[in-house]
Amino acid sequence: MEKQVIVSIGRQYGSAGHEIGRKLAEKLDIPFYDRNLFEEIGKIKNIDTNDLEKYDEVPRKKLFSRTVRGYSNSPEENVAELQFALLKSKWADGDSFVVVGRCADELFRGQEGFISVFIVGDMTEKIKRVMEYRNMDEKKAIAAIERHDKKRKRYHDYFCKNGSWGDCKNYDLCINSSKLGIEGTVDLLYDYVCKILNRV
């Protein structure tokens, strides 16, 4: 891709946002980042990151953490900052990529070639998807959706001071993946990205 582009995807749990992001990156022929950021962090820092993944996109536990002279003892906060720093370095190097979550909607807001997307879904479709992929009954699927979305909002809103998670005002495009399905949503986003890049 000749022009640099970063596509940030926020998503409701069960909306297929992760799969849509991965497929969009494949179609754009650019890297896709989510938990795989830990692999690169491990190589750069020469550390075993297996234990760090449990803190991925997890809100800071305020009762058990504190910050002294700019240094935090919160593993949740430190893991988040490691990912933010790596994403920023990739941007500075001129890389293009699609990233799911990780507060990228605020990290790169205002940068040329940056596109922020939030993906929602009809509740019935989200429940069906979670039931299928997580092998849950309907009651547990609903509870999982509510729990994960609450956690994502707390994580996002702790680190992002200029906008609330899921608020349409904070994104370039909000889309309901239930209307077009996964492939249709990917196609729509691909066309949108290409049109934006042609303006830049």
Express each pLDDT in 27-49 by its tens digit: 999 999 998 888 888 777 776 66
53: closest CA among 31, 73, 75? 75
Q: Which pLDDT score is estimated for 5?
A: 96
Mark the ranges of the chain whose per-residue pLDDT is less than 50.
Answer: 63-71
Q: Which pLDDT score is estimated for 81?
A: 87
Half-sphere exposure (Cβ direction) of 194: Cα atoms closer than 13 Å? 11
173: closest CA among 5, 4, 8? 8
Q: Which pLDDT score is estimated for 44?
A: 75
Q: Which pLDDT score is estimated for 60?
A: 59
